[in-house]
């Protein structure tokens, strides 16, 4: 089957798109040996900075460098403004959905989402029922995963409203590009992103009703795959990085142990899943959380960012309803499209999926990180049959989507420069206002033909440019 891919740099006739012309000129003028040398330099610098990623499912817990590609992913500013508005619109609707779901449940009463779909969902947290949050914000930090189909249309692949990661790579990739190729930033206007930590801190502060709240970053610890990012963001914001054991609860307030005695904590940017937050309320085996945290939270004495229970809104079984949420809460047409989705829990949709497995992408509703997913066109007959068995056994645990022709971007590979598939994760910050820094994290599937960009599956990253046009 011939597939038409949208290439970010070259149009269908092989002509360089206008927003890539400065870069193309520079690339043609720069000797290949110099580029190769700079790439080696980048690897060395990343290693030295300790920007690594721990691979799950690897017994040795190997720390791996996420490959960095020096050819940027570039987006014209006029196009970005639409994407930006679309992300803001979507995240606003998702936050309104969460506030509604944990209060009046108007959207369920209106018959737009079947109640059992969300209320019986494991991610729906009774702990949030009726709890009022400052500014009604649940997902303070959201990562919206976008891909482009064959004609260049942007689609939202998923919303990440729990503890989305990757923003440190976005920031480090930019620093690296500016260090290796400062000349590129002199010849054109590329929107800066280095104010992200300031915006993040401002967002976290504004999540508390207090004037000058104290903020900490809560990490599961150094064995977590994103530990580097937790440490990075704490340092960039100038706040403490803590583990569960550094915090304690007394009389429904959260304190941090310091050499100068206990200090009250008002906002916790937690990079720990709901189930691990409080061993007295959730998973009792969790050594990572803070006993008593839930009671303190429900007493309104500490803010968690993101809130507990956001997972019900980014669950893949709820994803098909997000465009309806935009219409319902904002009375607007969605700017960004959803990928058409078959819900395998519905018998008629399941039979369609089973009949078309070789063409579809099948995902677990609870899964993330590209584990437990089938990419039909890239799978062997045996893999497809194995998935068919799993689907039949637990249809409600899966959704299926058409295989999108993810856009490509020229990328350095062993044989030179070749197109590789990419996605984009902008990070949306919700506080006093909803905003984002221009661009986001571009992930690239380095294996030829691969559509899976997750770093755990051999993906790399690129700097993302928003170029004034």
Partner 1 sequence: MRLSIRHDTTYHYDDQVRASIQYLRLTPQESERQHVISWQLDLPRPARAQRDPYGNILHVLTLDEPHESIVIGARGQVDIDEHQDAEHDRQSALPFLRFTRLTQPDEALREFAASQCKERRDRSALTDLMQALNARITYQPGTTQVESTAAEAFAGGVGVCQDHAHAFLACVRSLGVPARYVSGYLYTESSTHLSSHAWAEAWLGDAWYSFDVTNCLTRPERHLKLAVGLDYLDACPVRGMRRGGGGEQMHARVLVSPLMQVQQQ
Residues in the site for partner 1, rule: CB under 8 A? 105, 115-116, 119-122, 124-129, 248-252, 279-281, 284, 291-292, 294-295, 298-299
From the CB of 313, what's the least distance to partner 1, in Å? 16
Residues with Cβ within 8 Å of 196's Cβ and at least 6 positions away in sequence, in order, are 167, 170, 171, 427, 437
Q: Which is nearer to partner 1, 71 or 249 (CB)?
A: 249
From the CB of 248, what's the least distance to partner 1, in Å? 7
At 337, phi and psi to the nearest 5? -90, 150
Report the half-sphere exposure of 344 (CA within 13 A, side-chain side): 26
Q: Which is nearer to partner 1, 287 or 355 (CB)?
A: 287
Q: Which is nearer to partner 1, 124 or 398 (CB)?
A: 124
Q: Which is nearer to partner 1, 30 or 301 (CB)?
A: 301
Q: Which is nearer to partner 1, 237 or 296 (CB)?
A: 296
What CA dihedral angle connects 469, 173, 310 and 394, to 10 degrees? Answer: 100
From the CB of 260, what's the least distance to partner 1, in Å? 17
Please state, in angstroms and rounded to a whole number, the distance separating the CA atoms of residues 4 and 152: 10
SS3 118: helix
From the CB of 290, what's the least distance to partner 1, in Å? 9
Whether the ω angle into residue 306 lies within 30 degrees of 0, i.e. cis, is: yes
Residues with Cβ within 8 Å of 104's Cβ and at least 6 positions away in sequence, in order, are none
From the CB of 246, what's the least distance to partner 1, in Å? 13
Q: Which is nearer to partner 1, 130 or 150 (CB)?
A: 130
Q: Which is nearer to partner 1, 289 or 419 (CB)?
A: 289
From the CB of 113, what's the least distance to partner 1, in Å? 12
Sign of CA dihedral 320, 325, 331, 335: negative
From the CB of 241, what's the least distance to partner 1, in Å? 21
Return the closest-CA partner of residue 396 out of 356, 344, 350. 344
The CA-atom distances, in angstroms, between 324 and each of 139, 305, 309, 319, 334 are 19, 25, 20, 10, 8
Q: How many CB atoms lie within 10 A of CB 40?
A: 10
Question: Could you tell me if 35 and 416 are in contact, meaning their C-beta atoms sit under 8 angstroms apart?
Answer: no
């Amino acid at each position: 089957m011939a597939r038409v891919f949208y290439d970010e740099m070259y149009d269908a006739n092989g002509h360089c798109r206008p927003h890539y012309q400065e870069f193309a000129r520079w690339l043609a003028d720069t000797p290949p040996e110099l580029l190769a040398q700079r790439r080696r330099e980048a690897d060395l610098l990343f290693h030295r900075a300790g920007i690594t990623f721990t691979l799950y499912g690897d017994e040795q817990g190997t720390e791996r460098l996420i490959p960095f590609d020096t050819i940027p992913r570039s987006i014209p500013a006029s196009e970005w403004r639409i994407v930006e508005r679309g992300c803001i619109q979507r995240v606003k609707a998702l936050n309104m959905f969460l506030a509604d779901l944990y209060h009046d449940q108007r959207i369920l009463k209106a018959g737009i989402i079947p109640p059992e779909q969300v209320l019986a969902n494991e991610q729906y947290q009774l702990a949030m029922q009726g709890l009022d949050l400052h500014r009604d914000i649940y997902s303070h930090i959201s990562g919206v995963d976008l891909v482009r189909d064959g004609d260049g249309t942007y689609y939202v692949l998923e919303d990440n409203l729990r503890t989305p990661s990757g923003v440190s790579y976005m920031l480090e990739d930019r620093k690296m590009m500016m260090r290796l190729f400062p000349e590129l930033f002199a010849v054109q206007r590329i929107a800066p992103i280095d104010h992200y930590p300031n915006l993040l801190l401002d967002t976290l502060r504004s999540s508390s009703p207090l004037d000058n709240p104290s903020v900490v970053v809560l990490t599961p610890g150094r064995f977590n795959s994103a530990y580097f990012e937790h440490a990075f963001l704490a340092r960039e914001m100038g706040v403490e990085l803590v583990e569960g054991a550094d915090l304690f609860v007394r009389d429904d307030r959260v304190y941090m142990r310091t050499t100068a005695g206990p200090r009250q904590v008002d906002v916790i940017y937690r990079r720990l899943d709901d189930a691990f937050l409080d061993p007295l309320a959730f998973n009792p085996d969790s050594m990572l959380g803070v006993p008593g945290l839930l009671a303190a939270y429900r007493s309104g004495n500490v803010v968690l960012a993101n809130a507990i229970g956001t997972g019900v809104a980014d669950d893949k079984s709820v994803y098909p309803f997000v465009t309806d949420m935009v219409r319902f809460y904002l009375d607007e047409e969605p700017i960004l499209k959803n990928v058409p989705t078959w819900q395998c829990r519905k018998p008629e949709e399941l039979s369609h999926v089973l009949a078309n497995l070789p063409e579809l992408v099948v995902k677990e509703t609870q899964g993330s990180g590209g584990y437990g997913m089938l990419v039909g066109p890239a799978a062997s007959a045996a893999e497809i049959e194995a998935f068919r068995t799993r689907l039949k056994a637990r249809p409600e645990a899966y959704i299926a989507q058409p295989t999108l022709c993810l856009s490509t971007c020229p990328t350095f590979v062993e044989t030179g420069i070749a197109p590789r598939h990419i996605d984009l994760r902008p990070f949306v910050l919700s506080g006093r206002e909803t905003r984002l820094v221009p661009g986001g994290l571009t992930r690239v599937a380095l294996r030829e033909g691969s559509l899976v960009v997750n770093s755990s599956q051999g993906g790399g990253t690129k700097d993302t440019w928003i170029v004034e046009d």
